[in-house]
Chain A
Amino acid sequence: MDKEKLAYKKLAYMGLFCALAILMGYIEAILPIHIGIPGVKLGIVNIVIIFVFYTLGWKEALTISVIRIFVVGFLFGNLYSILFSLAGGVLSFLVMLILKKFHFHILTVSIAGGITHNLGQLLIASFVVQVYSLMYFMPIMIVAGVAAGAVIGYLGHLAIKRLAYLMPK
């Protein structure tokens, strides 16, 4: 396939995955998971991000992640939720990028992403209200991040195994 055609194909796939990520964000928003700490959630969006990360590349995954945060934020959230999502999203992305560079397993990458996503949000929240006792929630958030990250990482792994051959290389 020549270069121009490949670029168009990639663009089309990115649009598709952007839509999928936004949809996942909506499903996430209506899933009634309450464990008493706001911000703890399954993070099913991360399946899409991880899939793109491992098949198209990190720049594409970051682009989709940021576009998704703004679209979902404007649709269902507010300025605060955009700020928190950005902090969590960018921090977890950096950590996932570093771990992947060092060839850690996809499950580890996903778990670290889940934990740092929560942690980024917690840090911003602590900073905004200047209450550092919010860090009281940190242990629970780490455990929740490990559990959710493992599930999401495994689902992402399955998706990559079955669908990666479709992606433009």
Chain B
Amino acid sequence: MKKRDIILISIFIAIAALGFGISRWPSLSDKEAILKISVQGETYGEYSLKQNQTIEIGSTNTCEIKDGKVHMIQADCPDKLCMDFTAIDKDGGSIVCLPNQVVLEIVTDNQNIDSIAG
């Protein structure tokens, strides 16, 4: 290992640390986080994280909100990768089922305004 190898690897880790900091930053604000579900690019619905519920998304997927955490509990696609995602909560993140193009996203009120304006 030469010096520049170590420098390059340090840069990778620095980018990761920076990205980590930025992506978790909004969670420090007290804006309410809500779950936004979209199917094939269209918004399907928005749900509060505070209420425990099971949501059927069309006929293809089912997700569950429990104690402020969201996860996919059922999918009819063959790979079921979306059910492998860790649960998402108010800190952000997303769960994606690519074959059905179902997206679960955590958005804050702030981001919502942005997406309407954009």
Q: Interface on A for B, CB 8 Å cutoff?
A: 34-38, 77-78, 80-81, 104-105, 107-108, 111-112, 115, 125, 128-131, 133-140, 142-143, 145-146
Contacts and interface: CB of A to CB of B under 8 A. Distances in A.
Given A78-B78, A129-B96, A36 B19 contact: no
Interface stretch (B5-13, B52-60, B61-69): B5-13
A104 B8 contact: yes
B94 A131 contact: yes
Interface of B: 1-2, 4-5, 8-9, 12-13, 15-17, 19-20, 23, 38, 41, 78-79, 81-82, 84-86, 92-94, 96, 98-99, 101, 103, 105-106
Contacts of A140: 16, 20
Nearest to B96: A129
B85 A38 contact: yes
B5 A133 contact: no
Contacts of B15: 139, 142
A80 B93 CA distance: 22
Contacts of A125: 96, 98
A143 B92 contact: no
A146 B41 CA distance: 33
B85 to A, nearest CB: 6
A133 B85 contact: no
A132 B86 CA distance: 18
Contact of B96 (A34, A35, A134): A134
A107 B1 contact: yes
Nearest to A108: B5
B98 A112 contact: no
28 contacts: A34-B84, A36-B84, A36-B85, A37-B86, A77-B79, A80-B99, A104-B4, A107-B5, A112-B12, A125-B98, A133-B93, A133-B106, A134-B96, A135-B19, A136-B23, A137-B93, A138-B16, A138-B19, A139-B15, A139-B16, A139-B17, A139-B19, A139-B20, A140-B16, A142-B19, A143-B13, A145-B12, A146-B13
Contacts of A136: 23, 92-94
Contacts of A134: 94, 96
A112 B8 contact: yes
Nearest to B81: A38
B12 to A, nearest CB: 6
A137 B81 CA distance: 15
A89 to B, nearest CB: 18
Contacts of A78: 78-79, 99
